[in-house]
Amino acid sequence: MTGGAGVQGFERLPARVFDFTSGSRRDLYFAILHVFNDANERLETALLLEQVHDRLPGTGFTEPAEEPEVEAALRHLESIGLLESAQSYTAAYATAAEFERKNVQYTLTARGEAEFAGVRLVLERLKERGALQTAVLDAVADRLDGLHALMGADDPAQDSRVFTTLQELEGHLDSLRDNTKRFNNELQRLLRSGGADLDTFHEVKRATVGYLDAFVDNLEERARGIADALARVEGHGAEGRGVEGMLERALAGANLPPSATDRVREDWLAARRTKWSGLRLWFAPTEDGQEGVRRLHEVARRAIGSLLEALERITESRRRASSTAEDLRAAARWCAGAETTENAHRLWQALTGLSPARHAVLGHTDDELIAPGTAWAAADPVPVSANLRSSGRSGRVARTARVRDVGETARLRRERARAQRAEVERALGRLATDGPVRLSAFGDMEHDLFEHLLALLGQALSESVRDDGTRRALTSDGRMEIVLVPPPDRGEATLRTPRGVFSGPDYVVSISVPGGAGPRPERGLE
C-alpha cells in the first residue's frame, strides 16, 4: 500500500505491543497511562505513586484502587517497557520504608506514549462516524491554491508556510480518505441489513439518499477544481522545480531538530511523496477520469440505487393489502410450495384464468337429425377421418405444397442465358473470314451457323450501297462487321445445310471483328 520510495520492506510492530490492554487489570493500566498522558500534556514528565493514585479518579476510572494495587500496576507497566522509574529526592519522607516506597518517580516511555496513543486512536475510531464532507474537498482545493501562490514567490522566508500548508493539505486528504472509507463501510452495512425497526431504517435510508445525492451533485465540480489546482502546482516544474522543489522547501520550513540525520530527512521526504501520490491518485485526471473520485462517485451512485430499492421494498410491504406485487409474490410462494406439478397447473388456472378453452372440433354435418336427449352411445358417431386412425395424419388438411425456390429458378435461367450467349459468340467467331471470300466458299455448313450468316447477310443487304459499291453492317452488339461486295460475275453461290439448300448471288463477303479482339477460332469454311 505504501509504495513510497523511502519505505523499505515490511514494517513490524514491536513484540507484545498493547499487552496492557488485556488481562483483568487492563482498565487500571489504561487509567494509569491516561494519568501520565494528561500529565505530559501539562509538561509534567514524572509522577510519584501517590500522585498517580490521587489522579486516577480524574480520568473517569471509578473503581476503588488501593495504593499497593496501583504500585503493582506501575511495576508491571514498567516491566513491559511502558514506564520508566527513577528515584526522586524532592518528596518528604517520614521513614526509611516510606523513602523506599515513595521516592520512585515514574515517567512514560516513548513506547508507552505510542501504545497509549494507539489505544486512544482505536477508541476514537470506534466512536467516529464516517462522513462525506464536501468542505474537505474545498479545503483541499484551497491549500493547493495556497501552495501554488507560495511557490510563485521563491522566498525562503515562506518555506515554513509551505510546510504548514502542505501539512494541512495532507491532513485534509487523510481526513477525506478516512471518512470516505468509513462512510463506505457504514453504507455497505446499511445496505446489507434488513433492519428490524422498519421506521428507523426507512428514515436512515432516506436521509442517506438525500445526503449522497447532495454529495454527488457537488463532487464532480469540486473534483475538477482540485484537479486544476493540482495541475497548477505541478506545472511549476516547467520553470521551477515542481513538486520536488516544493517538498524541499517544505523540508526546509519543517525545522526538523538538529538531531535529524540525512536518513531521517530522506524518510521525511519519502513520506511526503507518498502522500502526494495519494493526492494524485484521488484527483489527478487519468484516462478514465479521476480515479479516486470516480470510484467515490460510483459507490455513492450505486448506494443511492440500492437504498432506493430497499426503500421501495419497505414502502411496498407497507401497502401490503392492495399491492399487486405482493399478490404475485404470494402466488409465487404457493407455486413453489405446490405438492405436484399437477397442483401447480391447477393453481395457475385458478390464479390467472389464462388457460384457453377446450372443445370438440368434429360435429355432425346435420345435427338436427339427432334428437336432443339421445344417449351418446345411441347417436351416430361423428365422422372421423379414417386417415387419423390409420396413419395418424389428417386426410382433410393436406400439407402445404412446397414453395418453389425462386432464387434457384432465376439462377438456372441466368445460366441458360449465359450458355446461349456463349454459343452465339462461338458461332459468330466461326463465321469470321480472314479477308474477302466468295459466299460460295462457305459450301456445306451447320444449320445454326447458316442462320447466323443469313442474319448477317440480311443486315448488310438492308444497308444502302456505299460509294465504293460495298455494303457494310455491324451486328447490333457491334462485335462483328460484315462487308458485302456485289459479285464480280454472275456466279451463283449454293450453301448446303443439313436442312436444305440455299442459293443466291455469289457475293464477296468479309466478316471481321472490328477491334480484332473477338475470338477467332477454327473457321467454318474450308
Partner 1 sequence: MSGHVPVRNANRGVSQARDEMALGIQAMLASPLLVRERDEAAFTAVRRRRTELTAWFDYFCGWTLTVEPRQGYARLAKVRAADSHVAVPRPALRVRGSGAPFDRRRYTLFFLVAAELTVLSRTTVGLLAQRVAHTCAVEEGVPEFDSSVRAERAALVDALLLLEDYGALTSVDGSTESYIAGADAMVLYKADPARLARLLNAPVPPSRLGGAHPDLSELLAEERYGPRVDGAGTDGPEPGGGPNTAGGPGGGQDPGEGRDSGSGPTRNQRLLLARHSLMRRLLDDPVVYTADLSAGEAEYANTLTGRGLLRRAAREAGFRLEERAEGYLLVDVRGRTTDDVFPGEGNVKQTALLLLDVLLAAAEPLSLTSLTGEVEGLLERKPSWARSYRGEGGASQLTAAALGVLVGHGLARQEQGPERERGPADGPRYRALPAAHRYAVDRADFGQAGSGETGSGQKEQSQEGGQA
Q: What does the binding site for partner 1 look like in residue numbers (CB under 8 A)?
A: 309, 312, 316, 320-338, 341-342, 344-363, 367, 372-379, 381-382, 384-386, 388-394
Integer Cα distance of 260 and 95 in angstroms: 46
Q: Which residue, 328 or 417, is less far from partner 1 as judged by CB? A: 328
Write b or e for each residue in 106-124: b if 16 or more Cβ atoms lie within 10 A of its Cβ, otherwise e.
Answer: bbbbeebebbbeebeeeee
DSSP character at residue 19: G
Shortest gap between Cβ of 208 and partner 1 (angstroms)?
A: 19
Q: Which residue, 153 or 397, is less far from partner 1 as judged by CB? A: 397
* Residue 272 identity: R
Shortest gap between Cβ of 302 and partner 1 (angstroms)?
A: 12
Contact 234, 243 (CB under 8 A): yes
Integer Cα distance of 133 and 183 in angstroms: 10
Q: Which residue, 320 or 466, is less far from partner 1 as judged by CB? A: 320
Please measure the distance between the N-terminal and C-terminal CA atoms of the chain and give it in whole angstroms: 100
Shortest gap between Cβ of 356 and partner 1 (angstroms)?
A: 4
Per residue, the 3-state secondary structure of 470-494, as one string, reads CEEEECCCCCCEEEEECCCCCCEEE
Shortest gap between Cβ of 287 and partner 1 (angstroms)?
A: 24
Integer Cα distance of 475 and 457 in angstroms: 10
Shortest gap between Cβ of 365 and partner 1 (angstroms)?
A: 10
Return the bridge partners of 504, or none.
493
Q: Which residue, 44 or 367, is less far from partner 1 as judged by CB? A: 367
Q: Which residue, 72 or 330, is less far from partner 1 as judged by CB? A: 330
DSSP 3-state of 148: helix
Q: Tell which residue, 176, 162, 241, has the closest CA to residue 215.
A: 176
* Residue 496 identity: R
Q: Which residue, 403 or 517, is less far from partner 1 as judged by CB? A: 403
* Residue 396 identity: R
Integer Cα distance of 248 and 497 in angstroms: 113
Q: Which residue, 64 or 356, is less far from partner 1 as judged by CB? A: 356
Shortest gap between Cβ of 247 and partner 1 (angstroms)?
A: 47
Q: Which residue, 261 or 322, is less far from partner 1 as judged by CB? A: 322
Integer Cα distance of 14 and 109 in angstroms: 14
Shortest gap between Cβ of 323 and partner 1 (angstroms)?
A: 7
Q: Which residue, 99 or 348, is less far from partner 1 as judged by CB? A: 348
Shortest gap between Cβ of 288 and partner 1 (angstroms)?
A: 21
Integer Cα distance of 453 and 524 in angstroms: 11
DSSP 3-state of 350: helix
Shortest gap between Cβ of 226 and partner 1 (angstroms)?
A: 34
- Residue found under cell 463477303: 509
Q: Which residue, 347 or 437, is less far from partner 1 as judged by CB? A: 347
Shortest gap between Cβ of 164 and partner 1 (angstroms)?
A: 50
Q: Which residue, 125 or 192, is less far from partner 1 as judged by CB? A: 192
Q: Which residue, 361 or 406, is less far from partner 1 as judged by CB? A: 361
| Residue 499 CB neighbours (<10 A) | 10
| Residue 140 CB neighbours (<10 A) | 27
Shortest gap between Cβ of 325 and partner 1 (angstroms)?
A: 4
Q: What is the dihedral of CA 106, 107, 110, 115, to 10 degrees?
A: 60
Write b or e for each residue in 332-370: b if 16 or more Cβ atoms lie within 10 A of its Cβ, otherwise e.
Answer: eeeeeeeeeeeeeeeebeeeeeeeeeeeeeeeeeeeeee
| Pair type for strands 471-474 and 500-505 | unpaired
* Residue 450 identity: F
Shortest gap between Cβ of 392 and partner 1 (angstroms)?
A: 4
